């Protein structure tokens, strides 16, 4: 009974992945007719656009945020104490999420969409493909990287419009990974969920860690 139930869940996830691949990937079989984005934009424009947007998941977004905070501190020294904590946490979360995603990719060994059009190909604990990026689909490193920062910022920002813009940006980066055929839809969703819990755990840990708080309190 449990085996049948699990098969049904996996089958449902597989159908969802294939559905989003057909509607959003640049490698869908009937791209011109099935891809929703292709009806409004040229393939060349979409490819270039998402190639740029996806870079925000490689640490560029964090770099922009940190540079922005440092600029404010440069002109207003009184902001140093508060923004020092933000900068430290953003950098720390960047490395924590990077380590987590690197481990998970090698544990699950999921094939990327451009390798096999089959979302059910997992190579769990397969040491033969440990460093083969073609089997590093799950989870999405780009999505986890930017969403870790977005979750952290959203927990400290009260402006709802700014939060919405952050979530929209993170969603577009996630969509770019699907369009460029590097990830399945479930890779993106699970990455967003994992990044949420990473941030929550990190914030809880940092509040209780005396050494960390002492270090940040020093000028």
**For residues 83 and 62, what is the distance between their CA atoms, to the nearest angstrom?**
14
Question: In the prediction, which pLDDT does 34 show?
Answer: 85
Q: What is the pLDDT of residue 208?
A: 63
60 contacts: CB under 8 Å, gap ≥ 6: none
> pTM value?
0.89
pLDDT at position 7 over 80: no
47-63: average pLDDT: 97
| Section 116-130 average pLDDT | 91
Q: What is the pLDDT of residue 6?
A: 54
Q: Distance (Å, rounded) from C-alpha 7 to C-alpha 74?
A: 57
For 179, the token pair is 């369009």
pLDDT in tens, 151-198: 999 999 999 999 999 999 999 999 999 999 999 999 999 999 999 999
Radius of gyration of the chain (CA): 19
Whole-number pLDDT of residue 76: 83
Count of CB atoms situated within 10 Å of the CB of 91: 13
74-113 per-position pLDDT tens digit: 888 777 777 888 999 999 999 999 999 999 999 999 999 9
pLDDT confidence of residue 206? 78
Q: In the prediction, which pLDDT does 3 show?
A: 47
Q: pLDDT above 70 covers what percent of the chain?
A: 91
Domain residue ranges of the chain, discontinuous segments joined by +: 41-217
- Structure token pair of residue 147: 């969403």
125 phi-psi bin (left φ>0, alpha ψ -120 to 50, beta other)? left
Task: Name the 3-class secondary structure at 219.
Answer: coil
Q: Is 63's pLDDT higher than 80?
A: yes
Residue 211 has pLDDT above 50, yes or no: no
In terms of residues, how long is the chain? 219
Structure tokens at 92: 């720390």
More confident residue, 61 or 81: 61
Q: Give the per-residue pLDDT at 174.
A: 98
d(CA 195, CA 22): 26
Q: According to the model, what pLDDT value does residue 9 have?
A: 74
Q: Which pLDDT belongs to residue 215?
A: 47
Phi, psi of 103 (to 5 degrees): -70, -50
């Amino acid at each position: 009974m449990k085996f049948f139930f699990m098969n049904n869940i996996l089958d449902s996830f597989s159908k969802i992945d294939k559905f989003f691949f057909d509607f959003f990937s640049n490698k869908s079989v009937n791209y011109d007719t099935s891809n929703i984005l292709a009806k409004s934009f040229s393939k060349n424009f979409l490819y270039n656009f998402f190639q740029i947007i996806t870079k925000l998941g490689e640490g560029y977004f964090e770099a922009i945020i940190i540079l922005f905070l440092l600029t404010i501190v440069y002109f207003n020294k009184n902001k140093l104490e508060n923004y020092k904590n933000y900068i430290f946490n953003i950098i720390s979360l960047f490395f924590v999420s990077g380590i987590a995603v690197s481990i998970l990719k090698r544990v699950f060994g999921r094939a990327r969409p451009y390798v096999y059009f089959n979302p059910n190909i997992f190579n769990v604990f397969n040491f033969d493909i440990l460093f083969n990026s073609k089997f590093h689909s799950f989870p999405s490193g780009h999505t986890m990287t930017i969403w870790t920062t977005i979750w952290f910022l959203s927990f400290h920002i009260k402006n709802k419009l700014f939060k919405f813009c952050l979530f929209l940006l993170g969603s577009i980066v996630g969509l770019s990974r699907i369009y460029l055929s590097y990830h399945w839809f479930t890779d993106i969703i699970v990455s967003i969920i994992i990044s949420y819990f990473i941030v929550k755990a990190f914030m809880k840990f940092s509040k209780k860690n005396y050494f960390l708080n002492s270090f940040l309190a020093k000028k």
